[in-house]
Amino acid sequence: MTKKILIRIDDVCPTMNWEQFEKAIKLMDALNIRPLIGVIPDCKDSDLMICDARNDFWDYIKDLQQRGYIIAMHGLYHTFNSHYRGNIVSRHDSEFAGLSLDTQIHMIQTGKEILNKHGINTQIFFAPGHSYDDNTIKALSICGFKYLSDGKSYKAYKKEGIKLLPCRTGGVPRLYYGKYHTAVFHTHEWAWNNKAYCYKQFKDLLYTQASNIVDFDTFCQQPEGCLFAQEANERLYIFIERHVRPVLATIKHLI
């Protein structure tokens, strides 16, 4: 079975760690790989205030887009002010989950307008921390989006007119199951001692799987599964992640 792998780069903003981000760009350009990059419309996350803001940020992003990089809207401010657990995560922190539909519509529309103001048009979204709820999906549909790069289902499925493209793991996915995989990377983390190995994983994946890495336009054409079957599959996956794996990890530690 031929694999199709999408490279996704999160947390792109004017004050990110540019040294690490440009390491990724240089490598992807050398291999002619075009990823999905998540741009934060108006970043207010202090953890991403790493470098001085790049004055030509939006021109730089438009240049990447013209070169074939696909832009997604990655939240609005990348802040976690809602202490509500989203549909597919365990942590009780979110930018969107738990908020009213009207509030989420306003946030998503605001982010979209900021991107449009700078000449960036996209129909792709993913939330900070992978945290979203059903209102997020409805709001995306109302605001004219078509794709959500997230979820824990086995196959893609459509809900409220939004195609959810599952993203079961962060970093390098387990390539021994399924055909479609999203590999998620946060380049600023490569500067951390405990996450430096992630750059090696990124580099190894690109070199060993270059022939299987596809752009978003190809990736999003994957067939859709049945809504009810995939939601059931997703709930089972989340139950195992939240309740079964922690118990097994505790038993393993005790042994």
pLDDT digits (tens, 9 = 90+) for 228-252: 999 999 999 899 988 888 888 788 7
Residue whose entry in the numeric block shows the structure tokens 């738990």: 98
| pLDDT grade for 214, boundaries at 50, 70 and 90 | very high
User: C-alpha angle 40/45/167, rounded to 5°?
Assistant: 55
| CA dist., res. 43 & res. 50, Å (int) | 12
Least Cα distance to 110 among 15, 16, 54, 44 occurs for 44
Spatial contact of 181 and 3, defined as CB atoms under 8 Å apart: yes
Rg (CA), the chain: 18
Taking only the tens place, the pLDDT of each residue in 136-178 is: 999 999 999 999 999 999 999 999 999 999 998 777 888 877 8
Spatial contact of 24 and 34, defined as CB atoms under 8 Å apart: no
| CA dist., res. 23 & res. 41, Å (int) | 22
Taking only the tens place, the pLDDT of each residue in 119-141 is: 999 999 999 999 999 999 999 99
Residue 1 has a pLDDT of: 64
| Least confident stretch, 17-21, 59-63, 204-208, 244-248 | 244-248
